[in-house]
Structure 1
Amino acid sequence: MKVTFVCPGDELLGIGYMSAVLKQHDIETDLVFDPRLLQDSIFGRTFVTRYLTLDSEFLVSRIIETEPDLVAFTATTNTILWAFEVASKLKKAAEQIPIIFGGPHVTAVPERVIRRDFVDFICVGPGEYALLELVQSLQSGDGYDIPGIWHKRGSQVRHHDRIYQVEDLDQVPFPDKELFYSQLPFYKNPYVIVSSRGCPFNCTYCLQSMYHKLYRKCGAKPYQRRSVSNVIQELVVAKKRWGIKSVKFFDDLFAYNKRWLKEFCEEYKRKIDLPFRCSLHPHVVDAEILDLLKYAGAYTLTVGVESVNESILRDILNRKGSYESMQRSLELMRKSKMYFSVDHIFGLPDESEEDHKKAALLYTHVRPNNILLYWLVYYPKTEIIKHGLERKLIEQSDIELIEEGQGHISYKYAHHEGYQEAYPYYVLFNLIPIRIIPKFVFAFILKHNLLKVFKLPMFVVALKQLFDSLDPRSSRNEQLNKTRHLFKYVLAMRRRKPVKGKGLA
């Protein structure tokens, strides 16, 4: 039995874990990877963009070439339409191959995905052992009454009421990194790892708010953590086998339990001693946590600020903690001398220009090394949708588009009056981390409302991003290096001669 995973855009740890479990039970796996370069290119559909894009026909050929018994697609809301296009063409070309869908979008709206005629199964929630049981059932011919698995029987859809959650994460094998590294060896650095699943917080704009509802309904745990020894053991193996040079903890929140963190930092320093990056929550940061992280080798920290308006944080985003607490945390990070970035969201319900000014003054004071800016995206089944509807920022008809993956409705904000108000601050926030610009310049601009007089050109954002890409500690530098290697990967794929299957021209 062989399972081929179809993966868009980046290394996905979930696929690595599922492959590891399958291989542990003597089930072969393969990977068809689409970097999805230039998908939203400003250059349009030129010869160059077409050549650097692996079209769906090419991907179907690659899938068939692997000779799978089951094809597994993983998709977010951003990539679900891509997955639908590839899967529909695969079903026409090789209708005998069953197809399963999984991932955040599928878990959010399973009833919408399973109704597609080219989808045979879907997996809701964690997939490692649900997929294993499905493959074993396909081998044996038994039924599909498996937690987390939805399937079709004639015109009916059958599904289990529960999801498949592992009680002890230490019992799950380490992810199958070879699946990605054999094709994409540059993913070794930084080595991506998670020490936990889920998040202890339940922010309304985050997909975790959807997962929290699902897990409560199924009696599952919304947050789990591996033991320190298990995490360190994986890194010892990675260091020995792959010669890794740096580590990226992909946890939604890394430094949460201080007792766990103390044990981890001691063991990490003693046995791994490589630079690493991780994410923090501003209201659980203190001097002791920062000292521990610095001692262990943290070289880049990312902290989610999102907004400086306490009412928005508390009543709309469900993020507890005061502005003063957030400010203290950022000041401690500045004093620690570690490179740190802050996340900030524009387009939040009830935000005002005063909020933008307040945030600009805060960031001017603490001078983070980078400000990662986002426009609010309404993802399916997240709690933030309720607030958007109440304030008429989105309409009921938009929900259909969101759940079908046809638009995340962040674009609607561009036509909202708040966008014109936020835009100058979006540009300004990109300039604030540039240390050669003195603080008093930003203070003067804000005090005299000069953003209303002089409109900062958008090209300064591109210049700032270029500047960031030169700093090896920045996420943009990591992305630039990754993109360079992905272009080489696409060119190598283009030189292959794909196998044509039934239905392929």
Structure 2
Amino acid sequence: MKILLSIPLRDGMYTKFPDELLSIAAVLEKNGHHVMLHDANLGDRTAESFRDFGPDIVGFSVSTGCVADSIKKAIDFKKTFPGIKTVWGFRHPSALPEQTLAEEYVDYVIIGAGEYTLLELAEYLEKGTGSLAEIKGLAWKNGNDIVINEPRAFLNDLDELPDPAWHMVHPKKYWDVSIITSRGCPFSCTFCSDATFYKGNVSDLSAERIASQSERLRREFGINYIMYTGDNFGINKERLHEFCRIMIKKKLKLKWNCQISGYVTEEDARLMAKAGCTAVILGTESGSQKILDLLTKGNVQEFEKTFWNLVRQRIIPTLFIQYAFPTETAEDFKETLEFIKRLDNPPYLFMKFVPYPKTVLFDRCAKDKLISVPEKLADWSGFQLHYATQGNLSAIPQRLMDDTLSRFRATFASRRLFFMLRHNPVYFINAVREPKQFFSSLLYLIKNFLNALFDGSNGKESWLVKLRRILEMTPSLELQKNNVNINLSN
């Protein structure tokens, strides 16, 4: 069959590498299907523009923030290709399959990981053998009834999957090229949709496979810097150490970044640095122990120890901070700001809390009537953007948040440069030895700085966002909601 995998438009300038869909594409292609992947964030297209490909199935990877564009595209494909089957997957439809399938423009929902569920669905639609009821992990319509099949077993051996279908995209068009090193997380953070999506299960790609995929990306696509994603990357110490030793032995001229959720020892950091690690995203979330307890996220002291263990090895951590949680007060928020100061004002990412469906905090917010739960799929259009910008579920004064966000945007680039000068001055000396790598890093910093300035999906709009919206005639949040309703009525 001809299968189009679609990534709808998302907010912001940042382009996320489509690891999940590339993995699904590889499995489908391996089993003889013709697959195309389209990322609207690199250039949007209409359904009509895919006429030459003529898809039999279009699969949408849908997070809460891109429901509106997913609806628009699904309707467009249904009108353009009358016999096409629309399949929705990823976090939002997995959390709310019944509500998603209630719409006529959605034929199937894949709950959880999609590789084998979509493959079996494609085989059924192509050959007509078996039955829909036998496809685990699938939700579908039987007349006016919505059927939720038995869940698909969690994939414990990620090594059985083929390498992602990187040839379907241009990796260098993305800001980060990444490899998913694990699925799931051993923790159950109350704000995180992974706990619902993976239901507490964890599986790891082997150290050998991570290294071989890294080597292939460098050899075939010229990628010299890789982001290793997966909450378990720094938690599984045995695999982390094995991976680092393999990379050291291979002597690849490859630098890398990774996500860190757990504690990193001095030994871990030394080995990571020797293996090419230059930076990490440290998921601290907050500097207030009260808020960390609300999130079931760990403790402040452990994050501080991890931070300095990394910095001493010239690995630069970027703190991932969220704010405006339910019950969070001005005092709690100021504890986070003091936490950042204690760490000598390092680089950080600053994101406003958004409650995602079926998470513990979402259910709590609904129970306490802090949010109105959308009753229809289209009502989710603008939900994420509202709580990321206008909504405030905390007790933090709006002025305090606005002022802090303004400082974050204004100092985004200078903060990183000054921290590097203080804690890794050798980096600037190496600019003479490796000018190409230095200027690539500088360009990356400039792009991220512009993204921070122009990001209209995080807190109060900056004056640059307002100017861009006026010049480009970008619709406001209310107009975006109205546009979805107009599409549904046509």
Pair in the same fold by TM > 0.5: yes
The partner residue of 1:61 within 23, 26, 48 is 48
Alpha-carbon separation, structure 1, partners of 2:21 and 2:404? 39
Alpha-carbon separation, structure 2, partners of 1:240 and 1:309? 44
* Deviation for aligned residue 1:76: 0.6
When the two chains are superposed, the root-mean-square deviation of aligned CA atoms in Å is 3.1
AA matched with 1:225: D
The partner residue of 1:285 within 232, 253, 264 is 264
Alpha-carbon separation, structure 2, partners of 1:339 and 1:473? 15
Q: Deviations over 1:3-58 (max 9, x none)?
A: 1111235431111111111111111101233117xxxxxxxxxxxxxxxx73xxx4
Q: Where does residue 144 of structure 1 map in the other structure?
A: 132
Q: Where does residue 210 of structure 1 map in the other structure?
A: 196
Deviates more, 1:72-81 or 1:410-419: 410-419
Alpha-carbon separation, structure 2, partners of 1:102 and 1:222? 19
CA contact 1:73–1:102 (8 Å) conserved in 2: yes
CA contact 1:30–1:179 (8 Å) conserved in 2: yes
AA matched with 1:70: I
Map of 1:132-171 to 2, 5 A cutoff? 132-142=119-129, 143-145=131-133, 146-171=135-160
Map of 1:259-274 to 2, 5 A cutoff? 259-271=238-250, 272-274=252-254
CA contact 1:273–1:296 (8 Å) conserved in 2: no
* Deviation for aligned residue 1:93: 2.0
Alpha-carbon separation, structure 2, partners of 1:209 and 1:120? 26
What runs of 5+ residues in structure 1 fail to find an aligned partner? 37-52, 216-220, 439-468, 484-505
Q: Deviations over 1:312-343 (max 9, x none)?
A: 211x21112x3222222223333332222101
Q: Where does residue 198 of structure 1 map in the other structure?
A: 184
* Deviation for aligned residue 1:370: 1.0
Alpha-carbon separation, structure 2, partners of 1:325 and 1:286? 10
Q: Where does residue 354 of structure 2 map in the other structure?
A: 377
CA contact 2:256–2:278 (8 Å) conserved in 1: yes
Q: Where does residue 39 of structure 1 map in the other structure?
A: none
Q: Where does residue 91 of structure 2 map in the other structure?
A: 104
* Deviation for aligned residue 1:296: 0.8
Alpha-carbon separation, structure 2, partners of 1:475 and 1:205? 29
CA contact 1:401–1:407 (8 Å) conserved in 2: no
CA contact 1:356–1:425 (8 Å) conserved in 2: no
Alpha-carbon separation, structure 1, partners of 2:378 and 2:303? 32
Change (3 A) 1:382 1:332: same
AA matched with 2:339: L
* Deviation for aligned residue 1:64: 2.9
Map of 1:116-127 to 2, 5 A cutoff? 116-127=103-114
Q: Where does residue 357 of structure 1 map in the other structure?
A: 334
AA matched with 2:274: Y
* Deviation for aligned residue 1:86: 1.0
Alpha-carbon separation, structure 2, partners of 1:370 and 1:293? 20
- How many residues align? The count is 421
* Deviation for aligned residue 1:471: 8.2
Q: Where does residue 20 of structure 1 map in the other structure?
A: 26
Alpha-carbon separation, structure 1, partners of 2:110 and 2:139? 6
Alpha-carbon separation, structure 2, partners of 1:154 and 1:140? 21
* Deviation for aligned residue 1:126: 0.6
Q: Deviations over 1:178-211 (max 9, x none)?
A: 1112xx6534x74311111112222111111322
Alpha-carbon separation, structure 2, partners of 1:7 and 1:92? 19
Deviates more, 1:13-22 or 1:422-431: 422-431
Q: Where does residue 6 of structure 1 map in the other structure?
A: 6
* Deviation for aligned residue 1:435: 7.5
- TM-score, scaled relative to structure 1: 0.76
CA contact 2:330–2:396 (8 Å) conserved in 1: no
Q: Where does residue 424 of structure 2 map in the other structure?
A: none
Change (3 A) 1:312 1:358: closer
Q: Helix, strand or coil: the match of 1:312?
A: helix
Alpha-carbon separation, structure 1, partners of 2:367 and 2:378? 17
CA contact 1:300–1:473 (8 Å) conserved in 2: no
Alpha-carbon separation, structure 1, partners of 2:253 and 2:46? 40
AA matched with 1:3: I
Please tell me whether residue 129 in structure 1 is matched to residue 116 in structure 2.
Answer: yes
- TM-score, scaled relative to structure 2: 0.78
CA contact 2:93–2:110 (8 Å) conserved in 1: yes
* Deviation for aligned residue 1:114: 1.0
Q: Deviations over 1:213-255 (max 9, x none)?
A: xx3xxxxx62110111121222222222222211111223421
Change (3 A) 1:371 1:423: same
Alpha-carbon separation, structure 2, partners of 1:405 and 1:476? 31
Deviates more, 1:13-22 or 1:159-168: 159-168
Q: Where does residue 172 of structure 1 map in the other structure?
A: 161
Change (3 A) 1:364 1:473: farther
Q: Where does residue 391 of structure 2 map in the other structure?
A: 412
Please tell me whether residue 254 in structure 1 is matched to residue 243 in structure 2.
Answer: no
What runs of 5+ residues in structure 2 fail to find an aligned partner? 10-15, 420-437, 453-490
CA contact 2:280–2:318 (8 Å) conserved in 1: yes
Alpha-carbon separation, structure 2, partners of 1:29 and 1:401? 27
CA contact 1:210–1:383 (8 Å) conserved in 2: no
Deviates more, 1:373-382 or 1:142-151: 142-151
Change (3 A) 1:169 1:481: farther
Change (3 A) 1:352 1:266: same
Q: Helix, strand or coil: the match of 2:82?
A: coil
CA contact 1:247–1:276 (8 Å) conserved in 2: yes
Map of 1:332-371 to 2, 5 A cutoff? 332-371=309-348
Q: Helix, strand or coil: the match of 1:162?
A: coil
Percent same amino acid among aligned pairs? 22
AA matched with 1:151: W
Alpha-carbon separation, structure 2, partners of 1:429 and 1:355? 18
